[in-house]
A and B are shown apart, each in its own frame.
Chain A
Amino acid sequence: MSSKSRKKNTADSNTKTAWEIVKISRHPNRPLLKDYLEHVFENFIELHGDRYFADDPAIAGGFAEIEGNKVMVIGHNKGKNTTENIERNFGMAKPEGYRKALRLMRLAERFNIPIITIIDTPGAFPGMEAEERGQAESIAKNITEMIKIEVPIIAVVIGEGGSGGALGIGVGDKILMLSNAIYSVISPEGCASILWRDASYAPDAAKALNITATSLMKLGVIDEIIKEPGEGAHNDYKKTFDQVKNSVLANLKLLENLSVNKLLDKRSEKYSNMGKFSTSS
Chain B
Amino acid sequence: MAWFSKSEEKQKSGRENLWIKCKQCYSHIYENEWKKNLNVCPNCNFHGSIKSWDRVELIFDKNTFKELFANISPVDSLKFVDLKGSYKDKFEANKKKSGLSEAVLTGHGKINGIKVATAIMDFRFLGGSLGSATGEKILRAANYAYQKNIPYIVFSESGGARMQEGVLSLMQMAKTCNGIAKLNKKNIPYISVLANPTTGGVTASYAMMGDINIAEPFAVIGFAGRRVIEQTIGEKLPADFQTAEYLLKHGFVDSIVNRKDLKHFISNVLSYYNR
A interface vs B, CB < 8 Å?
124-128, 130-137, 139-141, 143-145, 147-148, 161, 163-164, 167-168, 171, 183-186, 191, 194-197, 201, 204-205, 208-211, 215-216, 219, 221, 268, 271-272, 274-281
**Which stretch in B25-33, B164-172, B256-264 binds the other chain?**
B164-172
Q: How far is the CB of A256 from chain B (nearest CB, A)?
A: 23
Bitwise, B234-250 to A at CB < 8 A (1) or not (0) is: 00010001100010001
Interface residue B8 (Cβ < 8 Å from any Cβ of A): no
Question: Are A219 and B201 touching (Cβ within 8 A)?
Answer: no
- Smallest CB separation, A9 vs chain B (Å): 16
Closest to A277 in B: B133
Q: Are A271 and B223 in contact (CB under 8 A)?
A: no
Hey, which chain B residues are within 8 Å of A195, CB to CB? 82-84, 163
Chain B interface size, as a band, is 35 or more
Given contacts A140-B208, A164-B173, A185-B169, 10 further A-B contacts (CB under 8 A): A127-B233, A131-B229, A132-B250, A148-B184, A201-B83, A210-B166, A221-B171, A276-B168, A277-B73, A281-B72
CB nearest neighbor in B for A197: B83
Q: Is the C-beta of B114 less than 8 angstroms from some C-beta in chain A?
A: no
CA distance A196 to B209 in the complex (A): 33
**B172 contacts which of A127, A136, A140, A274 (Cβ < 8 Å)?**
A274
Residues of A near B73 (CB, < 8 A) are 277-278, 280-281
The 10 A-B residue pairs with the shortest CB-CB distance, nearest first, are A275-B132, A126-B224, A281-B73, A277-B133, A136-B203, A276-B77, A274-B171, A195-B82, A136-B223, A147-B181
8 Å CB contact of B224 from A131, A141, A161: A131
Interface string of B214-235 (1 = CB under 8 A from A): 0000000111110011001100
On whether the beta carbons of A211 and B177 are closer than 8 Å, the reply is no
A194 touches B1 (CB 8 A): yes
Q: List 11 A-B contacts (CB under 8 A).
A: A126-B232, A140-B204, A147-B181, A163-B201, A204-B82, A221-B171, A271-B174, A271-B175, A276-B168, A277-B74, A281-B72
B135 touches A275 (CB 8 A): yes
Task: Chain A residues near B205: list those with CB within 8 A.
Answer: 139-140, 143-144
B71–A196 CB distance below 8 A: no
A148 contacts B229, C-beta separation under 8 Å: no
State the CA gap A205–B87 with chains docked (Å).
Answer: 13
Over the window 59-100 of chain B, the binary record of Cβ atoms lying under 8 Å from chain A Cβ atoms (1 yes, 0 no) is: 000000000001111110110111110000000000000000
A184 partner, pick from B167, B228, B232, beta carbons under 8 A: B167
Complex: A133 Cα to B246 Cα, angstroms: 11
Contacts of B173 in A (CB 8 A): 140, 143, 164, 167
Bound-complex Cα distance A104 to B205 (A) = 20
Distance to closest chain B CB from A167 (angstroms):
6
Contacts of A216 in B (CB 8 A): 167
Identify the interface centre among B84, B200, B203, B225: most chain A CB within 10 Å of its CB.
B203
Given contacts A144-B181, A216-B167, A275-B135, whether A281 and B70 have CB atoms under 8 Å apart is: yes
CB-contact partner of A167 in B170, B180, B225, B228, under 8 A:
B170
Interface residue B101 (Cβ < 8 Å from any Cβ of A):
yes
CB proximity to A under 8 Å, residues B145-185: 161, 163, 165-175, 177-178, 180-182, 184-185
Checking B185, B201, B250, B251 against A185 with a beta-carbon cut-off of 8 angstroms, the contacting residue is B201
**Residues from chain B with Cβ under 8 Å of A124 in the complex:** 204, 223-224
CA–CA, A9 to B235, complex, Å?
Answer: 45
> Is there contact, CB below 8 Å, between A185 and B203?
no
Q: Which of A127, A132, A216 neighbours the largest number of chain B CB atoms within 10 Å of its CB?
A: A132
How far does the alpha carbon of A204 sit from the alpha carbon of B177 in the complex, in Å? 31
Q: Quick one: closest A residue to B229, CB to CB?
A: A126
Q: Are B168 and A196 in contact (CB under 8 A)?
A: no
Instruction: Kindly list chain A residues whose C-beta atoms are within 8 Å of the C-beta of B182.
Output: 268
For the complex, give the distance between the alpha carbons of A276 and B169 in Å.
10
Whether A167 and B75, one on each chain, are in contact in the complex, defined by CB atoms closer than 8 angstroms, is no
For A170, give the chain B residue with the smallest CB separation.
B174
Of A128, A186, A274, the contact of B168 (CB 8 Å cutoff) = A274
Residues of B within 8 A of A141 (CB): 208-209
Alpha-carbon distance between A126 and B231 when the two chains are bound, in angstroms: 9
Is the CB of B252 closer than 8 A to any CB of chain A?
yes
Q: Is B123 on the interface with A (CB-CB < 8 A)?
A: no
The interface residues of chain A lying within 8 Å CB-to-CB of B133 are: 275, 277-278
Chain A, residue nearest B4 (CB): A194
Q: Are B166 and A184 in contact (CB under 8 A)?
A: yes
